[in-house]
Structure formats: structure tokens, C-alpha cells
Amino acid sequence: MDIERIQKLSGIIGHSDRIREVLDLIVQIGPVDITTLINGPSGVGKEMVAKAVHLASRRSREELITVNCGAIPEGIIESELFGHKKGSFTGAGDDRKGYFESANKGTIFLDEIGETPLATQVKLLRVLETGEFMRVGDSKTLKTDVRVIAATNKNLGDMVQNGTFRQDLYYRLKTVTINVPALKDRVEDITHLVERFALEFTRSNEILYRGFMPEAIRMMKKYNWPGNVRELKNFVQKILVLEKGERITVAMVSRELGDALPSIDINHNLPVLVSDQPERAEIDLILRQLFLLRQDSETIRNQLMAIVQNGGLSNIPIPVGDNLNVGVPIHDKSMEITDDHAYFIRDEVIGDMAIKDLEKEAITRTLKFFNNNRRKSAKSLNMSERTLYRKIEEFGLEPKIKKSNES
């Protein structure tokens, strides 16, 4: 059995080094009858790996029985695992086989092993070590020949420390451990996973599929996918439904991932912006902030003029709310920012934004844009050249700008 074959059989997608390590291990330990522990965060594909181990084993023609230890009520878990004798408890009308008996010659997959009650753990240890067990209510020892694979997203080592998992069972289980890495640690696989999920989904639902733009995939690689492959799969399906038949663009992806995306811009004091042109969106935002600032100062200036003209404070109308903008014309188109969902600003950074940072950024960029021509820059920023000089000094922009111009 080689990697390619096991990928084909199990459906595990991925070409990253990390996933290849996992596949290598599966190929290596698959054929050996050894207890295997699969560890990794939620949604990374532990169940797929368990199936792959079974498929790579000599038991592949026999049954693989999956038991979700976290989903079986504590009161009946032992009867489910080991079976019971007729009349051993209320409702036990017949003798019944448990999973360990049914899985004889095959494989048993104990999913969410960390959820197993302590009392049951002792019995698991016994069956792991000797293949022996007893049905509930019976004193006869039975024997089974099963290969055990267990999986958990818990840290069993920690559980041993705080007394919720038996140390002897832990040592028995972890002899061979397959650690399945989080998706964010193998982003190269995202392209393949998206493509496969999209094809499968559109085919079975008869949706036209036009693919994902490379930029859209790139953005998806920046997200950290706490729900791992499961989350990615759901995301792909959701976006294909929402954008039925459309080619998936970066704008669509950013709209869906929204706030969850990490900052892409360089200045971390600035709001986080996500758009197909982050640079452009950032400039727009800075301009908008400066524009609002200018509106404010204009309003204040008008009021001061009014004070002077009216000769006293008592006659001044105090503007409230929206009235603040009355009489301040918005002429400059470039100052507008469109609310077409292309831009997102994380609310939590808003409070950290200082007008000074925005101003400094705007000045730096404007000077750069006009090749350090201060007259043009001042005009564009709508400030006097004198003010610009003062700001350049205040923000210590001179050496930096000169330097960047020289290079």
C-alpha cells in the first residue's frame, strides 16, 4: 500500500508535507495490529484517518465498527461495548452482543475516547491488553480479536494529570499516535480541498460551477479556520449556494468571512480593512476620517464667525446631531466611501484609532504620491504649506520621506 492508493481509498485530500507525514504513518502502521491513537483538534479529519488505517490493514475486508464514546449515555455504555446477559438489568430482555464481539476479526474505532467514564476505562484496558471481556451481568470471560483505533480532540495527558483519564489506559493507547495537524498549519491543502468540495457539492446539487478566483483562495488561506476542514467544507457549500452559478471572487469571500479575517494592512493602529484592493480601501478610509475632521473644523469656524458677527455667545444656535453637517457642502467625489459591502472595519479597532495616526498616514502617502512636492501635497490635503511643514516636523516625517525617495 502506498500514499496515493490510501488517499484514493480513503478520500483524504492534501499534498502538504504535514498531511503526507500523516499518510506515511498510516501506510506504515496500518498493516500492523497495533492500538492507534489519533489526536487533533475538531474537524481536522480524525475519523477519515481512522478509516484509512482500517483500509490500510489486513482487516480491511472485515468490518470497521465506529463507537462514539461521547454520545452513549453512561448507564448503557458498557452494555453497548461488551453486550449483556438476559435479565442483567431492566430492559435487558435478551442476551446481546456488544461492539467488541461484533467487531471480531475487524477493527473497532473508539471515537471521543476522552469521554469514556472512568469505570469503563478499566474494562477497556483489559480488552486492549488481552482481548478478554465479559458481558454485563455475566461471569463468563469472552475473547475477541479486534484492532483498536481511538480518537480524541482532548489532551489525554492533561486529563491524566487531573484524574479524569486512567494513566495505564493512556500509555496503552498512545504507543502509536497520529497527530492530525490543524488546517491553518497546512494552508497549501486549501486549494485542493476547496476544489474537491466545490465539485462534489455542485455536481450533486446540479449547481453551475465556475470556480474560485485565485485571489479568493489566497484570502481563504489567511483565515485561521478554527473549525478546520469541516468549517472549510461548510463554508464552500454555503458560498456556492449564496452565489449560485457565479465565479467566486475575493469580495464574496471577504463578505462571508468578514470580521474573522486577520489584518492585511501594515499599520496595526489603523482599522482593519478587507477589500479586493486593501490599499485603496485604506486610503479611502483615511480620507473619510480627514474629511469628517475637516467638516467639524469648518462647522466650528462657521460658529466662531457667527459669534464674532453677532457680537456674543447668547445668539449662537447650538447644532444638534445631523444639523452639524448642514451647510457644509460635500464636493469632492474622492472623499466618498461606498458602502457596497466591499469594505469591512473591525469594530474593536475603532476605539484605538487616533486621528493623529490617520493624519500622519495621509500626509506620508500624499507626499509620496506627489513625489515630495510640498506645494502640491499641501493643496491636495487642503492645508497651508506652513501647516504641512509644521506637521512634517511634528510627525518626524522628513528623513523617512527623503529616504524612500532616494531608494
Q: Which is nearer to ligand ATP, 40 or 106 (CB)?
A: 40
Other C-beta atoms closer than 10 Å to the C-beta of 69 total 22
Residue 326 phi, psi (nearest 5): -60, 130
Q: With contact defined as beta carbons under 8 Å apart, do 389 and 398 qualify?
A: no
Residue 186 interacts with ligand ATP (CB under 6 A): yes or no: no
Among 6, 30, 39, 45, binds ligand ATP (CB under 6 A): 45
Least Cα distance to 27 among 4, 59, 61, 43 occurs for 4
Look at the block and give the residue holding cell 480601501: 281
Residue 64 interacts with ligand ATP (CB under 6 A): yes or no: no
Per DSSP bridges, beta strands 36-39 and 147-152 are parallel
Residue 176 interacts with ligand ATP (CB under 6 A): yes or no: no
Residue 47 interacts with ligand ATP (CB under 6 A): yes or no: yes
Q: Which is nearer to Mg ion, 71 or 330 (CB)?
A: 71
Among 173, 217, 229, 257, binds ligand ATP (CB under 6 A): 229
Selection from ligand ATP, Mg ion, none that 43 binds (CB < 5 to 8 A by kind) is ligand ATP
Write down the least CB distance from residue 7 to ligand ATP, Å: 9
Other C-beta atoms closer than 10 Å to the C-beta of 223 total 21
Write down the least CB distance from residue 197 to Mg ion, Å: 17
Residue 12 interacts with ligand ATP (CB under 6 A): yes or no: yes
Region of 41-49, 161-169, 252-260, 396-404 interacting with Mg ion (CB under 5 A)? 41-49
Among 26, 37, 44, 156, binds ligand ATP (CB under 6 A): 44
Q: With contact defined as beta carbons under 8 Å apart, do 145 and 104 qualify?
A: yes
Region of 45-53, 83-91, 142-150, 198-206 interacting with ligand ATP (CB under 6 A)? 45-53
Per DSSP bridges, beta strands 64-68 and 96-97 are unpaired
Which residues ranging from 118 to 157 are in contact with ligand ATP (CB under 6 A)? 153
Among 21, 47, 95, 298, binds Mg ion (CB under 5 A): 47
Other C-beta atoms closer than 10 Å to the C-beta of 45 total 25
Q: Outline where 223-373 has alpha helix (H).
A: 228-242, 250-257, 278-310, 347-350, 355-369
Angle at 355 between CA 353 and CA 357, to 5 degrees: 75
Write down the least CB distance from residue 69 to ligand ATP, Å: 11
Q: How far apart are CA 293 and CA 300, in angstroms?
A: 11
Region of 43-51, 76-84, 245-253, 365-373 interacting with ligand ATP (CB under 6 A)? 43-51
Among 172, 230, 255, 379, binds ligand ATP (CB under 6 A): 230
Q: Which is nearer to ligand ATP, 18 or 288 (CB)?
A: 18
Q: How far apart are CA 1 and CA 57, in angstroms?
A: 9
Residue-level length of the chain: 407
Among 85, 233, 360, 391, binds ligand ATP (CB under 6 A): 233
Q: Outline where 103-227 has alpha helix (H).
A: 118-130, 156-161, 167-173, 189-205, 214-222
Write down the least CB distance from residue 237 to ligand ATP, Å: 10
Selection from Mg ion, ligand ATP, none that 25 binds (CB < 5 to 8 A by kind) is none
Q: How far apart are CA 55 and CA 53, in angstroms?
A: 5
Using CB under 5 A as the criterion, which residues of the chain lie in contact with Mg ion when the complex forms?
46-47
Judged by the rule CB under 6 A, the positions of this chain that interact with ligand ATP are: 11-14, 40, 42-48, 153, 193, 229-230, 233
